[in-house]
Amino acid sequence: MSSTKNIAKDEGHLDQTLRPSAWADYIGQENIKTNLKILLTAAEERSHPAEHILFYGPPGLGKTTLAHLIAHETGRQIKITSGPAIEKVGDLASILTNLAPGDIVFIDEIHRLNKMVEEVLYPAMESGVLDIIIGKGPSARTIQLELPAFTLIAATTRIALLSAPLPSRFSGGTFRLEFYTHDEIKKILARSAVILGVELTDEALDEIAKRARFTPRTANYFLKRCRDYAQVHKMPLSKDAVKKALALLEIDELGLSASDRRIMEIIISKFDGGPVGLKTIAAATSEEEATIEEVIEPYLIQLGLLDRTTRGRTVTKKGYEHLGYEDTRN
> What is the distance between the alpha carbons of residues 31 and 66, in angstroms, rounded to a whole number?
13
Q: Catalytic one among 108, 227, 262, 314?
A: 108
> What confidence tens digit (pLDDT) does each residue in 124-134 have?
999 888 877 77
User: What does the chain come to in residues?
Assistant: 330
Which are the contacts of 26, defined by CB distance < 8 A and separation ≥ 6? 20, 33, 62, 65, 66, 69
| pLDDT score of 193 | 93
| pLDDT score of 19 | 87
| pLDDT score of 9 | 45
Q: What is the mean pLDDT of residues 260-287?
A: 92
Q: What is the mean pLDDT of residues 141-152?
A: 86
For this structure, is 228 an active site residue? no
| pLDDT score of 153 | 96
Q: Catalytic one among 157, 285, 314, 316?
A: 157
Q: Does domain 258-323 have CATH number 3.40.50.720?
A: no
For this structure, is 141 an active site residue? no
For this structure, is 157 an active site residue? yes
> What is the distance between the alpha carbons of residues 273 and 266, in angstroms, rounded to a whole number?
8
Q: Which stretch of DSSP H or E encloses residue 166?
A: helix 165-168
> What confidence tens digit (pLDDT) does each residue in 54-86 have?
999 999 999 999 999 999 999 999 999 999 999
> What confidence tens digit (pLDDT) does each residue in 147-168 have?
999 999 999 999 988 888 888 8
Q: Catalytic one among 186, 211, 217, 227?
A: 217
Q: With the C-alpha atoms ordered 220, 15, 18, 200, is the resulting torsion angle positive or negative? A: negative
> What is the distance between the alpha carbons of residues 42 and 36, in angstroms, rounded to a whole number?
10
Residues of the chain with CATH 1.10.10.10: 258-323
| Of the candidate ranges 13-22, 46-55, 178-187, the one whose mean pLDDT is the lowest | 13-22
| pLDDT score of 275 | 93
> What is the distance between the alpha carbons of residues 146 and 15, in angstroms, rounded to a whole number?
38
| pLDDT score of 30 | 95
Q: Does domain 29-176 have CATH number 3.50.50.60?
A: no
> What is the distance between the alpha carbons of residues 111 and 163, in angstroms, rounded to a whole number?
8
Residues of the chain with CATH 3.40.50.300: 29-176
15 pLDDT more than 70: no
> What is the distance between the alpha carbons of residues 191 and 3, in angstroms, rounded to a whole number?
24
For residue 145, the tally of other CB atoms under 10 A from its CB is: 13
Buried b / exposed e over 200-215, threshold 16 CB at 10 Å, is beeebbebbbebbbbb
Banded pLDDT at 5 (limits 50, 70, 90):
very low
Q: Where are the beta strands (DSSP E) in the chain?
A: 53-56, 78-82, 104-108, 129-134, 141-146, 151-156, 173-176, 306-309, 312-315
Closest listed residue to residue 271, CA positions, set 315, 318, 326: 315
Q: Catalytic one among 64, 215, 218, 291?
A: 64
